[in-house]
Amino acid sequence: MELQAIYTVAELARISGIPSKRLARLLRASGIPLRPAGEGKQRVHLVVTLSDLRTAFPSLWDSIVERQGVLQASLDLARVH
């Protein structure tokens, strides 16, 4: 997993293991703006920027960064063996 500048609430929910609706409530309660994304008749997804997440919900930000580090270390170890 590579860090992205923007995640949908659904992507963050999968990463964090929290149901999407609950995560959306937590993000709103933390003051993180959920921005609509999508065009036309496509289903609109709510997106979150990592800068907003880092500022307003640092524990979730830390978990994402930690997960990225663990995944990268696993990939590096697999390449050695």
Residue 21 has pLDDT above 70, yes or no: yes
Residue 1 confidence (pLDDT): 58
Interhelix angle 20-29/9-16, rounded to 10 degrees, is 100
Give the pLDDT score at 9. Answer: 93
- C-alpha span between 9 and 81 (Å, rounded): 36
Say if pTM beats, i.e. exceeds, 0.75: no
pLDDT in tens, 26-81: 999 989 999 988 766 666 788 999 899 889 988 888 887 887 777 677 767 777 76
In this predicted structure, what is the pLDDT of residue 71? Answer: 67
* Residue of 73, 57, 77 whose CA lies nearest to 16: 57
State residue 34's pLDDT score: 92
The CATH fold assigned to 6-80 is Arc Repressor Mutant, subunit A (1.10.10)
Domain boundaries defined on the chain? 6-80
